[in-house]
Structure formats: C-alpha cells, structure tokens
Amino acid sequence: MPAYVVSMMSIFDPETYKQYTDRTPPIVKKYGGKFLTRGEPLKCVEGQDYDGRMVILEFPSKADVEAWFNDPEYQEAMTFRHAASTMNYLLLQEGGENTENPDPKL
C-alpha cells in the first residue's frame, strides 16, 4: 500500500538548504520513492495562508518511508535542512484501500 510524506517548512537560509535538496533525490529513489511536488508555488484556497515550502513524496509502503527517514545518508542530509529551515509539519500517511466510502473517523 503506498505511503505519502507531506513536508511543510519555512526556509531562512536558502544556500544551506540547497545542500539538503542536492542530496535527497537519490536517497528517496533508493527506497522506491518519488517526488509528487517539490516546492512549487502554493495557493491557499481555504484556511490560514501559508508562505513556506511544501513537498509531497510517494513511497511504495510505510516501511519504505521509515527506511528512507532512518537511512544514515538521509540523516546526514537532514543536518543541512535543520540548519536552514524550520519544519512546520512532516506528515506520514498510508494510502487506504477504501477511497470510495472511507470512514471519516469522527
């Protein structure tokens, strides 16, 4: 079952952040992941405006996301992200099989 990562951050040091973005694509690919969107312009259609960066990734499974996140190369790359940005949200959600009539879990 696919799993999705949504990352929303505010970048305050673009040069250092680029050292992170230069390293991440091969590590994502190593675990079967792909970028669905990677920092393209955002438009808030409802709720509070957001002027940061958003990235959405898709992986084959939750286990692949966890392996990617814990990979030593990725952990090293994250030091540049931590030095250059503030993470607002880093979310992981598995895709569900029931997309026609999902349980809203209210």
Q: What is the pLDDT of residues 8-51, one digit of tens each?
A: 999 999 999 999 999 999 999 999 999 999 999 999 999 999 98
Ramachandran sector of residue 47 (left: φ over 0; alpha: ψ -120 to 50; beta: rest) = left
Looking at the chain, the whole-number percentage of residues with pLDDT higher than 90 is 84
| CA pair distance 95, 4, nearest whole angstrom | 7
Can you name the residues that pair with 7 across neighbouring β-strands?
A: 55, 90
